[in-house]
Structure 1
């Protein structure tokens, strides 16, 4: 199955064709996710959906300073500060004294934050389970493994992709 209606440059190899197909499918997935989230910028708790990423990071990786949290999600510290303020107002995150430096504070999920995180996780997992109910379990496992590998590679990529397609052998 060809990935797009646009012809590929002459002389490209199979690896380039597969990369083109992967790129096309990733775009389709990202657009579908964007459509699903359209109009849902704020969650049922009145907190920006983007802020839930911060809550999840604190739940899964433990308390941390605001700058460390911003760095871990590859975001601007001022944006994270604004989103954290919303999480604090909603009672999902609290500021605690940093035991290593009394002048600093750590951000940590509250009990309500843990409850909200688990409720969102459960809702997401139910949706994915329903969407892939007709899949073979081995395919679900393999997709999870491949997506994890892709996420790691994307998170650690620091240089732009080559512009010219590789020549066919």
Structure 2
């Protein structure tokens, strides 16, 4: 199996340095935006809260284990992250419809309203930041960013990169 060093020799080190630098800048600016310094307070929401609320909105009520599995994190982490959302009324705990002993997490009306407020603000920010970009450029950037995030997620979940698989054969 090739080492990390072997894999980077196939690529331009300067390009890889530029890529990692841009990813670091992106992460910092994304954090600043989350805190409201770029996108204003309306878009400010803890990253974990935003991702949890989004998943509950898109997939409906679910238990902690299902939520954790879908997000690729530990159940205890989800439990910790959900607690303040329940305390502030953004998420509610309800009985499972088929097993009254089990608890499911559900987006509350207040949580739905807050999530929509943040989404609207972030959409406006994305429109502002990409003003002057063609639809094709926006689609390409979104596609490449999705691909990048998918590759990072696969790596973190123990699924090797195709170059690593090729070297293992």
Q: Above 0.5 in TM-score?
A: yes
Aligned pair count?
A: 150
Q: Distance in 1 between matches of 2:47 and 2:19?
A: 27
CA distance in 2 between partners of 1:93 and 1:80 (Å): 12
More helix by share: 2
- Write out per-residue CA displacement over residues 138-159 of structure 1, whole angstroms, 9 at most, x where no aligned residue: 1111101111111222222225
**Match for residue 25 of structure 1?**
22
Unaligned runs of 5+ in 1: 1-10, 162-169
Tell me whether 16-25 or 60-69 shows the greater mean CA deviation.
Answer: 16-25
Residues 91-106 of structure 1 mapped to structure 2, 5 A cutoff: 91-106=89-104
Q: Which moved more, 1:102-111 or 1:17-26?
A: 17-26
Say which one has the larger Rg.
1
Map 1:1-169; keep pairs closer than 5 Å. Answer: 12-14=9-11, 16-37=13-34, 48-157=46-155, 158=158
2 CA distance for matches of 1:123 and 1:131? 12
Gaps in structure 2 of 5+ consecutive residues:
1-7, 162-169
Contact 1:47 1:87 in 2 (8 A): no
Please tell me whether the aligned partners of residues 48 and 83 of structure 1 are also in contact (alpha carbons under 8 angstroms): no
C-alpha distance in 2 between matches for 1:145 and 1:21: 20
Shift of the alpha carbon at 1:66?
A: 1.0
Partners of 2:135 and 2:9 lie apart in 1 by 35
Please, what is the CA RMSD of the aligned residues? Answer: 3.1
Return structure 1 stretches of 4+ with deviation > 3 angstroms: 11-20, 35-40, 46-49
